[in-house]
Amino acid sequence: MTIRIFIDGAVGTTGLEIRDRLAGRRDIVLVTLPDHLRKDAAARADALNAADGVILCLPDDAARDAVAMVRNPTVRIVDASTAHRTMDGWEYGFAELEPDRAGRLAAATRISNPGCYPTGFLALVRPLVRAGILPADRTVAVAATSGYSGGGKDMIAAFEDPAAPAATDTGYRLYALGLGHKHVREMQVHGGLARPPIFLPAVARSYRGMLVEVPLAIDDLAPGTTAAHVQDALAQAYAGAALVSVATDLPSVLDIERTAGTDRLELFVYADPAAGQLRLIGALDNLGKGAAGAAVQNMNLACGLPETEGLRL
């Protein structure tokens, strides 16, 4: 038995990455539309409803429109946009985030793919909130740096095409300086936090890769908490996970491209006991576990296929 998968938006950065992971698999048949029909509503509707699984790699409004086109109740949808990440009726597609999440994804027909920044943030914060180590009413800060591919075609052109209007020679830049970012609500809701986190995003001159940092003061954690408790909580949360690991040997330097080209997420706990400070760090590929890899993992689960099939370990 083979599963028919249609990628709506397969020509974008994330769509191409997903297609590469699915190409050549014997358990999947990729449904494609010729170029002249890619924006034809009737042809798209036919493809959406004839597939067993659909992965949406579209802007938010277009993703909502695509979902409205699906009339076949058996079609499983994984939406890579931000449109449904905090919406009732959609399962949040971070399989490792909660103990029962993989099972819920296996039964779901509507799955919202997590954002790349929230993936790193939630992986570090959610287990600590769930364990009572990090009080849910704390205001948490998160600083994160992404490869420029996360900004889509315009940002890629700004870093790579000297003729582009927004071309830049800089190697690093901050953005969302007004502290408003579309991922903040997602981080708060799925982190179980009472307050929105303070989000400090940046982009580096690296095509892909991501580092997400959450600084914590021991005094802000539950009384008696040590760095070892934090390490143990994360290790227990991801014990047995194929794609998420918690380091025991800490490198002295972390490169943004550490996990580039893979679908892994690596977590690190650094501590200064004398100062009572912790620096939690997640390393992932913004196009891998932060986008395409997660989408394929979610579709595998929803379609009853091996969870890591086609992924880059």
What is the per-residue DSSP string for 50-75? H-SEEEE-S-HHHHHHHHHH---TT-
Whole-angstrom Cα distance, residue 264 to residue 274? 32
- Decide if 116 is catalytic: yes
Whole-angstrom Cα distance, residue 58 to residue 80? 7
Q: Among candidates 127, 144, 311, 128, which has minimal Cα distance to 214?
A: 144
The count of other CB atoms within 10 Å of the CB of residue 230 is 23
* Catalytically annotated residue among 105, 116, 218, 287: 116
Q: Do the Cβ atoms of 55 and 295 come closer than 8 Å?
A: yes
The count of other CB atoms within 10 Å of the CB of residue 20 is 13
Which residue carries 């550490």 as its tokens?
258
The residues, ordered by sequence, that sit 6+ positions from 106 with a Cβ below 8 Å of its Cβ are: 301, 302, 304
Whole-angstrom Cα distance, residue 187 to residue 182? 10
Provide the annotated active-site residues.
Answer: 116
